Structure formats: C-alpha cells, structure tokens
Amino acid sequence: MQLDHELKQLRALAEICKRDYRARTRRVETTGVRPRQLRRFWDRLGAYAPLERCVYPPDVVHGELIEELRLEARDVPREELPTLARLLYFDGLTYFFTDESNPSDDDPPVLAFNDQFDAPLRVTSSFVEYAAGALLTLVLPVSLDRVVKRTPAAARRPLPACQPQLLKADDRVYLPFDVDPVAAEGRFYEVPLGREALQLFARRPEELAQEAFRFLVEDHGFELGKIHVSQWETAVVYTSPRARVSVNMDHLPLGVNVSLGLYEERAGRTLVDEHGLLHLVQDRAPDDAPGLIAEVGSLEQALALHSDLLRRHAADLLGGDLSRVPRLKGLRAAETRRRNKEEFGTSTGETPRFMGRPTLEELFADVTNEGLKAPRAYQAYWDYDYPLDEIARFLGVGERQVQALLDEWDQI
C-alpha cells in the first residue's frame, strides 16, 4: 500500500515536472512478469520514452545483448552468476540486470558486470529503487551546478519505499549524485520544487501521527496496529498486551482525539476500558486540559501536543499501573452525565418522561425487570436529587446496594 501510494506520487511528480510525460509514455505489457514490485512499477508508471532507453521495460527483449553478456561472463564461476536475470541496460561497456534467482523476492536486486569485473557487482538491493532513481534523474531539473556535498540536517525521506535515498527539506529535494549507501556519504543534486510539486510531498496524517507517537513503540513496547484512512478521517492504532492507544484525526474540520483503552478480563472475556486523553490530563494537570479542546490550526502541532500530554500524564497507565483507574472512571461518568443531560435531558440519555419532579413510585413504576432498576436509581439520584438513604428505603435495600446500582450504570 505504501509503495503504491509513492508510485502514484512519483508519476504525478513526473507529469508536473515534464509536461510531455503523458504524451511520451506508453503502457507496458507485464503479463507473465513474476517479481511483483517490478511489475507494479511498470504498471503504475508506464514506459516514459527517455526512461525506456536506460531501463528496459519487461516487454522489450534485447536478445543480442543477453548473448553478449553471456560471452563476457564466460570465465565467471557459475555460482557467482544469477540463475535467472533480466537485462535492464547496456551502456556500451557495462551490463545492468536484475537477479531474479530467488522466486520469493518481490523486488529483485540490480547487478552490474563488464569484462573488467571478476564477478557481478551489486548496484542496489531493489529494482524499484534503481528504476525510480533513474526516472527522477530524467524528470527533475538536475545539473552539475546544483551538486552539493551536504544535505540539511532536518531533511526527511519523502519516498522511503521506492527511493529511500531521496531527501527533502523545505522547498528542495536532494537526489543522490554519487552517494555511497554503506558509508552514507557522497554528493546530491539539490533541486528546488514548485508549489504544485511540493504539495505531493506533504506528509499524510498517518505519517505525522506515527512520527509524533513513536515513543509508544520505543519506550513502552507498543506495536503499530491498524491504520484506517478515509475521505473524512484517519485513525492510527497502537497495541500492547495491556492496552491500546487510538489516534483519531478529523480532516474537516481539523481535529485530533486520542484515547487509551485498558484491557480488562471479565467473565472470561477481554473488554476495553476506554479513557479519553482529556480525562487523563484533567486528573493529573487540569491547567493543561484547555489546550486539548482549543481550535486546531496545524495537525502537526496538535499531534505533538497530544503526544506530549500522553507521554507525561499516562506513563503509569502505559506501564501497567492502574491505581488511578477508579478516579478516571469517575471523571468519565461525570462527563457522560453532563453530555446526556445537555443533549437528551436526562443523565441516562433517555427522553424525559416527567414535566416536574416525579415521586419515587412514579419514577420506578415501569421497572418490570432487574435491568431497569439501575437506570431508574441513577435518574432518581442524579436527575431528581433523591438522597441515597431515601432511595434505599423505597427499594428496601441498604445504601451500599443503591451505590452499587449507580456504579453499575457508570461502569465503575
């Protein structure tokens, strides 16, 4: 999925930077091509005429060059040659080809050989990286007067799946010129991008969330779980054996909501006790809470704020210390009552049944089974201000039993 997205970005970038890209690009026939990522590259990008001359598509056969390669490599021990190879380019001296010997390799490495070599040399471990780098060199305005020795310290990788050596900082990208991937040293083409191209590399919400909440993986042993992306929202979920953290981002209007779900074992079932970050902060640092409900101007800044507050005010819960859970459940219950009364008119969320304050006989009149006793006791206490002892006398039970009914409804 990540690679597909990046290949679409790459094609869009090519069409922006080279206005003739579509006109000079043909569809590639990939039927029967085995390496999945190699097939995906040609299916998504097609064969741009200049690229086709330096990275041969799979439906172009150069039988004579393959024979020449076999003759050149005649003295190379057989075990050092791939059992299955695909010729990619011949510059008159050196042959470049894939090593498709491993049938389970979806993205085969690229090798190079000429008569000066004792054995093939590995150029890259990825065909997609090799081909994407060649395409970028063709569509970006690269030139020798734009070669630099260093990239900005804050540069990031905008296409990590298909071109991991490409870097971006501010309004520029840095394409490798002669970089040694092992030593991580070398020179780059520094290429300024226009506004339209820059928009292609804007980081997606799920990428921003993963960057902001990386501490969950590094400090608390969580794993990245589901990522859900739709037109209206994006959600990123982290899980551990004890809990899950859900990061939800609304696109319009822009908003962020983070919740911590604690796993509970009840009657042989695993339940999730969900707590919003707002309650976690209100319990520990009420003065920090207003920042969570303020209008969001920048998704990146909002995610950084939520991440920082979760890190500072939920470290105990993330580590398995549940001593504050009863307080948090109380905060959640109070917020639910407030919201229910505001939206529906009763603390339980039911439609109000009385114009004024009912008697307990009237309030409990529809209790035909035990399941209705808890919500009626809840309304008696929270909506109509009946004290515990009066409710207890009416029901013929003790105050502790009435409190248990209230706690049952609050899920405490």
- Examine the domain organization and report whether 38 and 110 are in the same domain: yes
Dihedral of the CA atoms 304, 282, 341, 362 (nearest 10)? 150
Whether the pLDDT of residue 248 is over 90: the answer is yes
- Examine the domain organization and report whether 194 and 209 are in the same domain: no
Would 138 be classed as within a structural domain? no
> What is the overall mean pLDDT for the chain?
92
**For 130-189, what is each residue's pLDDT tens digit?**
999 999 999 999 999 999 998 898 888 999 999 999 999 999 999 999 877 665 578 999
Whether the pLDDT of residue 78 is over 90: the answer is no
- Examine the domain organization and report whether 114 and 152 are in the same domain: no
At residue 181, the pLDDT reads 62
d(CA 7, CA 282) in angstroms, rounded, equals 44
Q: Which domain holds residue 168?
A: 144-200
Would 47 be classed as within a structural domain? yes
- Examine the domain organization and report whether 298 and 318 are in the same domain: yes
**For 12-48, what is each residue's pLDDT tens digit?**
999 999 999 999 999 999 999 999 999 999 999 999 9
Would 14 be classed as within a structural domain? yes
What CATH number does residue 222 fall under? 3.90.1150
**Cα separation values, 190 from 47, 124, 155, 157, 171, Å:** 26, 22, 12, 14, 10
- Give the max Cα distance, the chain: 102
Would 161 be classed as within a structural domain? yes
Nearest to 105 by CA among 125, 131, 133, 86: 125
CB 189 within 8 A of CB 147: yes
Would 37 be classed as within a structural domain? yes
At residue 52, the pLDDT reads 96
**Cβ-Cβ contacts under 8 Å for 263 (sequence gap 6 or more):** 241, 242, 243, 244, 270, 271, 272, 273
Kind and range of the H or E run holding 119: none
Q: Structure tokens of 31? A: 């039927």
Compute the average pLDDT of residues 192-211: 90
Would 104 be classed as within a structural domain? yes
- Examine the domain organization and report whether 63 and 167 are in the same domain: no
- Examine the domain organization and report whether 318 and 348 are in the same domain: no
Which tops the pLDDT comparison, 200 or 109?
A: 109
Give counts: helices (H), strands (E), the chain: 17, 15
What CATH number does residue 87 fall under? 3.40.1580
pLDDT grade for 404, boundaries at 50, 70 and 90:
very high
At residue 371, the pLDDT reads 85
At residue 203, the pLDDT reads 82
Which tops the pLDDT comparison, 412 or 205?
A: 205
Q: Structure tokens of 57? A: 């598509």
- Examine the domain organization and report whether 250 and 159 are in the same domain: no
Would 33 be classed as within a structural domain? yes
- Examine the domain organization and report whether 194 and 212 are in the same domain: no
Number of domains in the chain: 4
Domain final residue, candidates 130, 156, 185: 130
Would 136 be classed as within a structural domain? no
